[in-house]
Structure 1
Amino acid sequence: MQRAKTKKIIPRLALLLAFSASAAGLASEIDHREFEATLHVPYKAELAGNGDTEARTFTLAFDYPFVERAQDVSWRVELLSPNGDVVQRWHGVERMFTKGVDVRVRWDGRSGSAPVADGVYQVRMQALSRDAAGDGKGKLPDASEYAVDQALAASADELKEQSWEILVGKAAAPAMPAFKAMDTGPASAAAQAKAKGGKGKEPLPGMMSAPATASLPYTVYFANLHSQTNHSDGGGALSTCTGSQGAQAGAFGPTDAFAYARGRGLDILMTSEHNHYYDGSSGTNSSASPATAIALYQAGLSAAANYNAANPNFLGVYGLEWGVISNGGHLNILNSPELLAWEYNSSGQLLGDTLTAKNDYASLYTLMRQRGWVGQFNHPEGTGQFLVNGVPLGYTPDGDEAMVLCEVLNTSAFSTNTTESETGRSTYEGACKKALEAGFHIAFSTNQDNHCANWGASYTNRTGVLIPSGTPLTQASFIDALKARRVFATMDKNSQLVLTANGQVMGSRFTNSGPLNLVANYANTAGQSASTVIIYEGVPGRNGTVTQLSTTANTTITPSVGEHFYYAKITQGDGKIIWSAPIWVTQTNSSDTTPPGVTASESGSSGTITLGANASDNVGVTLVEFYIDNVLKASSNIAPYSASINSTTLANGTHSLVAKAYDAAGNVGTSAPVSFSVSNSSGDTVAPTVTASESGSSGTITLSASASDNVGVSKVEFYVDGALKGSDTSSPYAMTLNSTTLSNGAHTLTAKAFDAAGNSTTSAPVNFSISNATSQQLILNSGFESGAASWTATSGVITSDASQPAYSGSWKAWMNGYGATHTDTLYQQVAIPSSASSATLKFWLKVDSSETTTTTAYDTLKVQVRNSSNTVLATLATYSNLNKGSSFVQRSFDLSAYKGQTVRIYFLGVEGSTVQTSFVIDEVTVTAQ
């Protein structure tokens, strides 16, 4: 009689904990050398009421990874009343160097001797780090309140500020509109059901949620859109991870991350790898190969695509975290098929596909807009980051189109917490507000920046992505949702928040006249309720201050004529916060049919020239645009309306300027044309000469150019089929390109050379061909996720039994494992093309055995090639209990000898009569090229 299969298993989580990988190497100082200051504040006291029962402790955590000198940290904490008055203040100075410092501030629940009144208060911390005097071993600087205030005021632009609300006593719960929670994605829904005691089973592949009754017609997919693996400085084993991993030294890669996140109830995980780590260094590896760096990035894209194909109810996203912290700022690019780089090796080769100059955010935004890529501001600061023309979070129209998200909250990047209880959290709402006021159309996100192998598990925060119900979760539907800004940020994975305005869903941009009804639609599926609700209002492009509009979930106003944005923020009874995406409204006066009046002017003929306009309107001018020779060159939304441009962007000679003025009702006034002349002082009017060449037809190809100029060549750009692929600023002008980014067949290369005066010449086109070997996958249902489809096996072999985990997904082939005499077989028949240059069999195998012998093979698995009559043509390998181990190992065999034949890939498992041995097989592929 058969016995049940023995459950002698090492779960995948245990594997993550067990592996420590090789030595981690040096961490990236350039990406993590930054003063960090966080504030943890309990929303409620343990004993709610008045007086000392409202006492609680505020925890300040200061750190400065990889700092080179001892630091003196000046800090101030303020308790603000509901109307913004300072109730109490604390201050101090702390010294730190090689490790962080925690400060605990105890509040007794009083103001002076009297208990404070009930209400929602705010705790605000400001902190500043400075090099300690001398060797850092002397006395601390003056820590008086006056000295601390002076220190903070002197460097206001460098302050770290964090603030959180607290509830004192009881506050009346706000009235909330009826709103039924929208359906959630399969993985998150299964996790929620499991948490409530249900079975938590995901739907079968291909199933899609239907619209929830009496709710909005969207499905919420919960995401973590910021994490790293061993493709850069993440993937650290939990047992040893204390910080950033050495470049490509972490224990775990993208596939591990996707599987872990899916198992923790996430529907979407983005592994956002630092773009300058692909050379194997946190600095610049002068001996690195461009082909190796590019191949690693492409491998990450393939890992995501393969995992998604095997797990259609989950979306793995692989992309870039571009930039550095020092004088820069990190941003994610969520859908780039190319590796962007600014580093060169010692041979002058770009270590990536496309050149993007370090810290040149304006040019990056332009490239992203041209390519249709979207981005997220990561842990943004309001000062010193994302500079454009010296302005922090500087606005450009290209940036407005490309940047779709702003991280409003992050958990500690180096947390190893796996119980969703991490207290190290930072909020960046102030910087996101600044970006909104600058004119960026961004939605809020909240992520975990995981560098250790706990993707999505450190805290309950999630980014909720709204995809129309009935639409499959794919890369395309995900990116469409981000472009529509249908996103909310939540600290509670069971909460949802959608702001609507006159029925328009958050993320929308529309024109309105008359009243505007704003509704904060909130739901929580775990019994929490709203403690406070705030609707905020701002003006895009004003560069002013976002203000509180109301404290009710249903608010009706008539906005002033002009541009506005609104977003909702809800704090739950447990202190967790949810942010809606903004909604953008152009308020008009429907009776306004009068266009503005406008005249244009120009001053200067060389260098920087100034474009000006006088514009007026019966209601108000909202925007003035400047056109030169019918081409839009600049715009201004603040009087006096003017713009400056570099005259070298125009040819010498006569030009025509026209100004267009707009009002809030959409009326347009156009000025009379103004003629002006440009006479650039540079005597250099001779354009460079340039010829192009290309070498290679597969793998890594080289694009080259020979260029010369009477003064000097400043840059050469390379275009394939009219698309910019990269540039080089020094001779010999060349770049490498991964040919797999081009289709097989004929292509055209042109090179464009520039000189310092702005003269340029485009080379004659050069024709070349690409002929990459194409691969064909012959095995169907290779990961068994469709059950036994396309396979022939003995009963019980193909299974989703969770007691023996699959390599990926839920299904696998589990052969033997009964501890009794038993034979299992598994095969699939394939036809190997006679035209193939190669054919390769690969599969992942784990041998789990209770046998203790180290010399005798009691239980065996044979890997065979048989013909269609089941005759054995070859036994490729025999595995046994002697090969037992705790992890999967990939096996590979050459099948080139069977080209032109129809054969069976055959697995034969034979088990003895006493002790179990399980042969677990997954991801079987036969690839013909």
Structure 2
Amino acid sequence: MQLKTMIARSLVLAGLVFCLPTLAAPVLPDHQEFDAALQVPFRASAERSIVMHFEYPGATAGTPVAWQIALLDHSGNVLREWNGNSVLHTRTARASVSWDGFDSRHHALPAGYYTVRLRAIALDDDNARRIGTGIATNALALATRLAPTRITEQRYDIQVGQVAAAAMPGFSGLPQHGGAHAMSVGASGLPYTIWYGNLHSQTNHSDGGGDLATCHGEQSPQSSAYGPADAYQYAMNRGLDMLMTSEHNHMFDGSTGTNASANPATAHNLFASGLQAAATFRAAHPNFLSIYGQEWGVISNGGHMNIFNADGLIEWEKNSAGQLIGDYEIAKGDYGSLYTLMKSKGWIGQFNHPAQSGQFKVGGTDFGYAADGDQVMVLAEVLNSSAFSVNTTESETSRPNYEAAFNTILERGYHVAPSSDQDNHCANWGASFTNRTGVLIPTGTALSLDSFLDALRARRVFATEDKTAQIVLTANGHVMGERFSNSGPLTLIVNYASSSGQTAQRVQLFEGVPGSNGTVSSPSETSTTTVTPMAGDHFYYAKITQANGLRLWSAPVWVTEGSGGGGGDTTAPTATASESGSSGTITFNATVSDNVGVTRVEFYVDGALKATDSSSPYSTTLDSTTLADGTHALVAKAYDAAGNVGSSGSVSFSVSNSSGGGDTTAPTATASESGSSGTITFNATASDNVGVTRVEFYVDGALKATDSSSPYSAMLDSTTLADGTHALIAKAYDAAGNIGTSTSVGFSVSNGGGTTQPIGNGGFESGSTGWTQTSGVITSDSGEPAHAGSWKAWLDGYGATHTDYVRQQISIPAGASSATLDFFMHVDTAEPKTTAYDNLQVQVITSTGKVLTLATFSNKDAASGYQEHTISLNAYKGQTLQINFNGVEDSTKQTSFVIDDVSVKVQ
């Protein structure tokens, strides 16, 4: 028998996730998160492909991703929309749609610039619980209502038709280090030289440095072959001027968790050896800057940030003896205290791959402003190439964008410049794409750690996807990164140069108000813009899109306009505050007014910032258990766009969480159900003296769904229940933990009696519809015949080390009298039949992710033709699970496990 044909076969994804609820996954390490990226041609003469890249390290194979592509006009109106779903295999997935250039009514679009927007959510266990379903159908709509912060969004602007290129000022460019791309100083006379680098990467001091032949993600801490010195040499050889190896602070104990046996001296010495390696390399290579630092924090429970110049390891983990596994202690997630430490030490940092929400909290606010943080945080990434890329030809197509978060950080009041890095975990430091961070150092000043840090403190930095291009923003003669006062007109000039012949197609100027928590606007798309700002603080930065679609972002300038400009608003808002409740969830309200307009209201309790609201009516809620019992003082501060601040009078209120004084009143709840087949709907009406925090829906005593916002409802696939009568109850919870239970509501399910078949497409004649698989398993290849029809699942058969699987998720009703798995399998092998070298396991994967093996077959079971196999599933009544066929082949002589006509018979 010939070896299995190794031709990549496209997955037939249509409808896949609609039949496949999410596989329950174990709790993921909290430095991992779902990421998405868009790949779209900037220009196209006709049809263009919109490609989506999804990445989720640690997610269970088979986790669905629901996605939506929307085409937007300049005003944000949706012109056309595509919805679909994909499945993560190991940790990645890829999907695409083809766009013919027309809107939804098949009208050609006028020439101009448009936006492609991707919105996606990975339906892992946590997200499935939040939105009440693990099925991709309507998942984004549910998430928009129930968990909007769990949706990942990416945007990319495209050009349609012929659009005149932006007129650019004469600018010969700043000199670049690097010989072949050197430029002389142009008419601007700006006294700076540009140095290009990658300021975010890992080596074997944490979870990086993976060999390119085997690297498929983050490495086990301290396990790979390549360390900092290898990284610096590689990056220098690839033409970079600088590389920072930024090692995860919590992996210096050799684990992704906490190593209770860790020796603090070992962790300290490893960090010290990294500092020494960088210093030694700098001394030997004066035109290359090697930087050793740390990436502090975790993603999904905080946020990653680079610290460029720390002299010791900042930690929160301790060993079993209570010893800190580091040199400085800061609690995980305590960014306010970290900023204060950094300020005291003169350290500076960068926000790494910032999410649109949920990270870098201070005072309970995402990207919460802190004066110490504003001083020490100097950069924020606007773009990365894929962290796990093994590309060495600078052509990586997956490049996540973080512009939305960058704008939020600026609006919070942080003075940060944009950066563009690669976050390399594999041994291709700086080689995955042409993106770089450009740093402006005074011409004639040697490249050194000190001159680099000085440039970052001055925010003289830009981000670029093209290592041969540069962008420099000036404002009334001030260069980007500067903060200055102004009175009257302000002229902003966007300068661009390329040493490789590229041209600028589009220029965009962006403007915002630091500290306003408002939105960033785009007042101009010309390279020279004159404005007269309103009195107060403003920032401006520029973005250029080249004719080839690659983008550059300038550092902002920060301008304080005096009273002579724009109208001179010096009137502070007025504010009054009130509070209601003494336990459970308490509510703060503010009534504010201003002669121009209020931009935000901050609520302080006992002088500490607790919450911010940027839209009227201004209010927030707080868990009273975060405050001690007794009397507290509430103050509301109102801000306007000019930076004027008005404070309310102090309002005294009491908190009583102690027994006998707290909230002891349970919510009330009533439940109802509609439908008897297909998708059925549960509804609940709930109320409480303080407030309902969530409602749970139980069927026959089993939890089926949770909803945390009114109106409380959930949908359920009726085929997961047996035909007949069932009982629904709703449980309502309040913040104090009181529970109110509805009376039992009887309802009937009728999906048809007799034997049911939860397996879809069991004969594989519809390709991979209903199944998830390793690439090419479901096939009509004639090398092995099907049991019936033309299609089957062909696992292994390569004669080399290989693992294949094919699986489908089903639900077995609790009231079933019996459940049986039946399938036909042909085993073909070149192995001797005396020893089991290659194996196929028939498994179930439970809703908690537990893998249970029902039967095992091997090359010893080889026989001519198909054999029928029947396995009882009675032990899994009332459960949602996956039927999984998992084939493992060793390094020599093929064994093919060919499966067809799979069914689950439920009576």
Q: 2-side partners of 1:134 and 1:247: how far apart?
A: 28
* Residues 11-160 of structure 1 mapped to structure 2, 5 A cutoff: 30=29, 33-45=32-44, 48=45, 54-68=46-60, 70-111=62-103, 112-131=105-124, 148-160=140-152
Query: Residues 179, 98 of structure 1: CA spacing in aligned structure 2 closer, same or farther, 3 A cutoff?
Result: same
CA distance in 2, matches of 1:429, 1:572: 17
Q: Is the 8 A contact 1:570 1:577 kept in 2?
A: yes
CA 1:660 to 1:419, structure 2 compared with 1: closer, same or farther past 3 Å?
Answer: closer
Query: Does residue 570 in structure 1 map to residue 544 in structure 2?
Result: yes
2:303, 2:127 → 1: CA distance?
Answer: 31
Q: Cα distance 1:636–1:125, how it changes in 2: closer, same or farther (>3 A)?
A: closer
- Write the distance in 2 (CA, Å) between the matches of 1:442 and 1:661: 24
Q: Does 1:174 align with 2:166?
A: yes
Post-superposition CA distance 1:660-691 (Å, at most 9, x none): 999999999999xx999999999xxxxxxxxx
Counterpart-to-counterpart distance in 1, 2:519 and 2:367: 14
SS at match of 1:432: helix
1:787: which partner in 2? Answer: none
Report the counterpart of residue 184 of structure 1 in structure 2: 176
**Match of residue 759 from structure 2:** none
Letter in 2 for 1:190: G
Q: Which of 290, 300, 318 matches 1:344?
A: 318
- Measure the CA separation in 1 of the matches of 2:654 and 2:143: 51
- Determine the C-alpha separation between the residues in 2 that align with 1:68 and 1:582: 41
Q: Is the 8 A contact 2:171 2:187 kept in 1?
A: no
Per-residue CA shift, 1:222-251, capped at 9, x if unaligned? 010000011111111112211111111111
Q: CA deviation at 1:86?
A: 2.1
Residues 221-230 or 28-37, more deviating: 28-37
CA-to-partner distance for each residue in 1:254-301, whole Å, 9 max, x for gaps? 111111111111111100000011111121111111111001101111
Cα offsets for 1:564-615 (capped at 9, x unmatched): 11110110000000000111111222399998689999999xx999999999
Q: In the superposition, relative to structure 1, how do residues 589 and 90 fare at CA in structure 2: closer, same or farther (>3 Å)?
A: same
| Partner in structure 2 of residue 307 of structure 1 | 281
The question of whether the paired residues in 2 share the 8 Å contact of 1:599 and 1:659 is answered with: no
CA distance in 2, matches of 1:301, 1:96: 38
Match of 2:203 among 213, 220, 229: 229
Call closer, same or farther: CA 1:488–1:28 in 2, change over 3 Å.
Answer: farther
Q: Give the secondary structure class of the aligned counterpart of 2:374.
A: helix
Matches of 1:450 and 1:31, distance apart in 2: 19
Aligned to 1:912: none
Q: Letter of the aligned partner of 2:49 in structure 1?
A: T
Q: How many residues align?
A: 621
CA distance in 1, matches of 2:621, 2:95: 49
The verdict on how the C-alpha distance between 1:242 and 1:659 changes in structure 2, with shifts beyond 3 A counting, is closer
Q: Identify if the C-alpha distance between structure 1 residues 409 and 664 changes in structure 2 by more than 3 Å, giving closer, same or farther.
A: closer
Indicate whether 1:292 and 2:266 are aligned.
Answer: yes
Distance in 2 (alpha carbons) for counterparts of 1:613 and 1:31: 36
| In structure 2, C-alpha distance between the alignment counterparts of 1:245 and 1:632, rounded to whole Å | 41
Residues 596 and 166 of structure 1: CA distance in aligned 2, closer, same or farther (over 3 Å): closer
CA deviation vs aligned residue, 1:489-519 (integer Å, no higher than 9, x gap): 0000111111111111111111211111111
**Residue 242 to residue 619, structure 1, CA distance change in 2 (3 Å):** closer
2:438 equivalent in structure 1: 464
Structure-2 change in CA distance of 1:65 and 1:669 (3 Å)? closer
List aligned pairs for 1:142-541, cutoff 5 A.
148-185=140-177, 189-190=178-179, 192=181, 214-541=188-515
Give per-residue Cα distances to partners, 1:30-62, cap 9 Å, x unaligned: 2653222221111122xx3xxxxx201111122
Which deviates the most, 220-229 or 159-168? 159-168
* Residues 131/249 of structure 1: CA separation in 2 closer, same or farther (3 Å cut): closer
Rounded Cα–Cα distance in structure 2 between residues aligned with 1:124 and 1:544 = 21
Code of the aligned partner of 2:238: R
d(CA) in 1 for partners of 2:143, 2:594: 47
Q: Deviations over 1:381-433 (max 9, x none)?
A: 01121122322222211111111111100001111111111101100101111
- Structure 1 residues 528, 388: closer, same or farther in 2, change over 3 A? same
Q: Is the 8 A contact 1:60 1:102 kept in 2?
A: yes
What is the distance in 2 between the residues matched to 1:271 and 1:134?
Answer: 33
**Pair 1:634–1:590, CA change in 2 (3 A):** farther
Check the 8 A contact 2:124/2:134 in 1, yes or no. no
Question: 1:258–1:603: structure 2 CA closer, same or farther, 3 Å change rule?
Answer: same
Q: Secondary structure at the match of 2:123?
A: strand
Q: Which runs of 5+ in 2 are unaligned?
A: 1-25, 623-632, 658-907
How far off its partner does 1:110 sit?
2.2
What CA distance in whole angstroms lies between the structure 1 residues aligned with 2:256 and 2:619? 43
Tell whether the 8 Å contact from 1:223 to 1:266 is kept in structure 2 after alignment.
yes
CA distance in 2, matches of 1:680, 1:82: 49
For 2:554 and 2:481, how far apart are their aligned partners in 1?
9
Tell me which of 536, 545, 550 is aligned to 2:519: 545
Identity, % of aligned positions: 54
Q: What secondary structure is seen at the aligned counterpart in 2 of 1:115?
A: coil
Q: Distance in 2 between matches of 1:127 and 1:527?
A: 37
The alpha carbon displacement at 1:643 in A equals 14
Give, in whole Å, the separation in 2 of the partners of 1:100 and 1:438. Answer: 33
What secondary structure, in the 3-state scheme, does the structure 2 residue paired with 1:476 have? helix
1:842-881 deviation digits (Å, cap 9, x = unpaired): xxxxxxxxxxxxxxxxxxxxxxxxxxxxxxxxxxxxxxxx
Give the gaps of 5 or more residues in structure 1. Answer: 1-26, 49-53, 194-208, 646-655, 683-929
Quick one: distance in 2 between partners of 1:134 and 1:564?
38
* Deviations 1:328-358, CA, capped at 9 Å, x for gaps: 1111011101100111111111000010111
Q: Closer, same or farther in 2 for the Cα pair 1:308/1:171, shift >3 Å? A: same
- Residues 569, 210 of structure 1: alpha-carbon distance in 2 compared, 3 angstrom cutoff: closer
Distance 1:386-1:602 versus aligned 2 partners, 3 A rule = closer
Secondary structure of the equivalent of 2:518? coil
1:326, 1:668 → 2: CA distance?
A: 34
AA at the equivalent of 1:518:
L
Query: Are the equivalent residues in 2 in contact too, given 1:223–1:268 (CA < 8 A)?
Result: yes
Contact 1:486 1:581 (C-alpha < 8 Å) held by counterparts? yes
8 A contact 2:535–2:564 mirrored in 1: no
Aligned equivalents of 1:359 and 1:664: distance in 2? 30
Distance change >3 Å, CA 97–CA 44, structure 1 → 2 = same
Q: Determine if contact 2:258/2:317 at 8 Å carries over to the other structure.
A: yes
- Distance in 2 (alpha carbons) for counterparts of 1:259 and 1:534: 37
Report the Cα distance in structure 2 between the residues aligned to 1:624 and 1:76, rounded to whole angstroms: 34
